[in-house]
Amino acid sequence: MKITPLSIPDVLLIEPQVYHDQRGYFLESFNQARFEQQLGRPVHFVQDNHSHSVHKVLRGLHYQLGKPQGKLIRVTQGEVFDVAVDLRESSPTFGQWTGGILSAENHHQLWIPEGFAHGFYVLSSTADLHYKATDFWYPQGERTLRWDDPAIAIRWPLSQTPIVSAKDEQGHYFESSDKYA
């Protein structure tokens, strides 16, 4: 397992060891002991999610007040551009974004700790995203930051206007967004 901090160092790119043979491949998609050893702190996941999306779907940018979720994200089919936005007011990278390509081919995973908004854009005809969360879904605390907020200026690899949910269309802008302490 190779761990690389991204431009926001608390967001980690995780490259699992992939064991190829004539049958195909095997990898450990999650190992509690290794993950905690790399992170240097205990992490407890309580919910697994699976979202399936078609080409040009953009989901996000979402976060939860009250029950912030750390997320360990991977793609098992297709390819997405995955993004995290730092909403931790005390952070030197507050308001900045980072991210990268997660795909079934590269097996890359992202660890996005609590205190971030998360979103992704689907680059392939369809994509299956599987992610573990460190707290339960808390709809009362759900918030959406606009994916196209010029104050964050995410360089989405868009080919054309993305497919966005009505909820995400009504997302708010960063200057009025909630912050994590």
Ligand X SMILES: Cc1cn([C@H]2C[C@H](O)[C@@H](COP(=O)(O)OP(=O)(O)O[C@H]3O[C@H](C)C(=O)[C@H](O)[C@H]3O)O2)c(=O)[nH]c1=O
62 binds ligand X (CB under 6 A): yes
The verdict on whether 138 is a catalytic residue reads no
DSSP state of 175: G
Kindly name the residue from 63, 107, 108, 131 that is annotated as catalytic. Answer: 131
Using CB under 6 A as the criterion, what x/- string covers residues 26-55 for binding ligand X? -----------------------x-x----
* Residue 115 region by backbone torsions, left for phi larger than 0, else alpha for psi between -120 and 50, else beta: left
Q: Is the N-terminal amide bond of 61 cis, ω within 30° of 0?
A: yes
Task: CB nearer to ligand X: give 16 or 68.
Answer: 68
Nearest distance, CB of residue 122 and ligand X, angstroms = 11
CB-wise, 34 or 128, nearer to ligand X?
128
* Token pair listed for 108: 């890359």
Report the residue number, 34 or 77, with the smaller CB distance to ligand X: 77
Our answer to whether residue 131 is catalytic in this structure is yes
Tokens standing for residue 37: 């050893």
Distances (CA, A) of 120 to 2, 38, 81: 22, 25, 5
> Which residues ranging from 109 to 168 are in contact with ligand X (CB under 6 A)?
118-120, 137, 165
Nearest in space to 80 (alpha carbons), one of 45, 52, 43, 116: 52
Nearest residue to the partner ligand X, using Cβ: 137
What are the Cα distances from residue 172, in Å, to 28, 56, 143?
A: 38, 21, 8
Task: In angstroms, give the least distance from the CB of 131 to ligand X.
Answer: 7
SS3 40: coil
Residues that bind ligand X (CB under 6 A): 49, 51, 59-60, 62, 118-120, 137, 165
Catalytic residues: 62, 131
